[in-house]
Chain A
Amino acid sequence: MQLTYRKAFKTILVRDLTIAIRHRDDIFNPLLFFIITVSLFPLGIGPEANTLMKIAPGIIWVAALLATLLSLERLFKNDHADGSLEQLLLSPCPTFVLVLAKITAHWIITGLPLIIIAPLLGVLLNLHQDSYLALMLTLLIGTPVLSLLGAIGVALTVGIKKGGVLLSLLILPLYIPVLIFATSAIDAASMNLPYDGQLAIIGAIFVGSLTLAPFAVGSALKVSIN
């Protein structure tokens, strides 16, 4: 019986989603972090509507970025601890397929809930009414980039006991372009300016990381379990 790439991808995706659903913290921790961080800002800054409107895109995006960072370790850490990572790497299917499946599962577990809850938090921060579409679009293209690039960092640090700080140092610089173009797109939208240029750049980063990150992650994992 030949194992097709599609079947291998599906099997790993279903496995990771099953584990996440049975282990609900995985889904709720980053989401709660996202909601709490964003809702603290109006309390700290004061309910002045214009100020909030100005900083809303930045706050939502920074919170989304940190929430993703918080959830990243889970991507390979548990599998590494119980030995299933080496079993996965020894399975006959090429490493990039399984890495891509695991990253997709990670995005569904963390990225997707963030996108769904973001408009509500936009209301909380008095986000400009023309910015909602831009917010959703940037998150939709941007959060997969966060998962893809983050996976490289996790793969490199998975063998280290306390790799958390190192992970942030490795990954945050790579997140900055996404952050800059996403917030600039939302700002442009609030001024009724076209923002497809920024979206195209985030899209290009997405396609670039989608094609290259799985190979980088595969090599990094091989180094980490050595």
Chain B
Amino acid sequence: MKMKGRLMLLVMLVVAIALGAVSYYGIGEDGQMSAAQIKQGLDLSGGVDIVYEADQAAVTEEEMAAAISLLQGRLDWNGWTEAEVAKEGDKRIRVQIPGVENAEEAIQQIGKTAQLSFADEAGNVLLTGDMVRNATKQVGAMEQNGPSAPYVALEFNDEGKQRFAAATASNIGKVIYIIMDEKVISAPVVQAAITDGQAVITGQFTGEGAEELASLIRAGSLPFNLNVIQMKNVGARLGADALSAGIRAGAIGIGLVLLFMLFAYKVLGLAADWALLIYMGLEVIALSVLHVTLTLPGIAGIVLSAGMAVDANVVIFERIKEELLQDKTLRSAVKNGFSRALPAILDGNVTTLIAAGVLFFLGSGTVKGFATTLMIGIIISMFTALVITRVIVKGLIYAGVHNPKYYGLRTK
């Protein structure tokens, strides 16, 4: 028995140390699963979050794709490569730029109306974006029996057709620049005069590259404007302060809990603390592996679920104390304590899960972050409070820590 108990404790010790090491250093060279890999929300990293909406009742998928390419292109050209662009609903686009220094400049840069033009080598504008009727990615052979390759097909309106015919006629063998926001996005060489308003741009395109170029050209003739309907800008300093304060507060708060449990429940408290440390390790790894974006309320969610983890142990330990007072043996007291406390613990966690679940599905932004960490935390904490603590307590008893006094019995 003593051997078995020591073995159980040893395994738990190894688990705790391993989880601690993994959550701190991670696995492999890029530190997978470590705390450093957890993605930070804009309220922690600082940055801007903007939601644009097309000011037109019906917007096609193609038009939205073009608008997204435009925003993506502008972000790339300005060096905000960390930025993310995502479609929301039918006609909204959310842009997130972490760590941007001058947020207002960024907002104005990416939000302006698209300026697409075609120019010759001397820089003279030949025609403008509104004369392009459509631009699409196509795949096909460029010459007879040639290999199939992606290319971009352009279609002009009547005015564009005439202008393009004149432009190509006088620029054969030369380059025509396609310019978006003063940035050359394509520089095809004119091979022949094109008079039917149907041009193709070929080159070493990948499918994606052709799609991107077509989208950008389409964005030059978007029939709608993108209005900012929501904007949030968090200064980088505030974000950094928020993160360090959050981590410090979490560490101090959890430190206090560890001490409190040790004083209030002695040996049982040690088991709970041990389980709580394992919980922290598992939580960090879960956040990292599940690619959860950590927000400030998210940190609060983690801390709150740590409190819930301790609660489960408190319910169990109070039960064990009562059982001991009724002269039960230590082993049966522990057994009954765990089994009798179970329904109450399950109920409590289920109701909190209901609240967190509703927040997750209906909330947005930071509230979602809170709900996510709370849910993950509750699930992990149930496991550590019920299973891990139990193994440790049993291990301690088997290993020879028998005196009921250490388990909270005061009277005898």
Q: Do A and B bind each other?
A: no
Interface set of A (CB-CB < 8 Å, partner B): none
Interface set of B (CB-CB < 8 Å, partner A): none
